[in-house]
Amino acid sequence: MKMNPKYEIIMYWSQEDNAVIAEVPELAGCMADGATYEEALQQVRIVIQEWIETAKALGREIPKPKGKLMYA
């Protein structure tokens, strides 16, 4: 079953990495990159799904999406 999580994604250009970075603050360590914003978004969607599947397999709690975070 394909999930459609609603986690906040923060995207920015990283000069150091020469790539667009997409981070998911609610999922610790969940991030991806790409040459364009579209590519980074596509990659982070895959990583979110993998993060959730791994957490389930390890019996870890999966945070519920909160939407826009206060510090953002």
- 42 in a domain, yes or no? yes
Q: Does 44 map to a domain? A: yes
Say whether pLDDT at 1 is over 50: no
Full domain range(s) for residue 20: 10-57
In a domain, 63, yes or no: no
Our count of domains for the chain comes to: 1
Please state the rounded mean pLDDT for residues 33-48: 97
Structure tokens of 11? 């995207």
pLDDT bracket for residue 22 (50, 70, 90) = very high
Residue 71 pLDDT > 80: no
pLDDT number for residue 66 = 84
pTM over the 0.75 mark = yes
Contact (Cβ atoms closer than 8 angstroms) between residue 13 and residue 20: yes
In a domain, 67, yes or no: no
Q: Where are the alpha helices (DSSP H) in the chain?
A: 37-57
Q: Name 65's Cβ contacts closer than 8 Å, sequence gap at least 6.
A: 5, 6, 7, 8, 26
Give the pLDDT mean for 15-29: 96
Under a CB-based contact definition with an 8 Å cutoff, are residues 11 and 41 in contact? yes
Residue 22 DSSP label: E
Residue 33 lies in a domain: yes
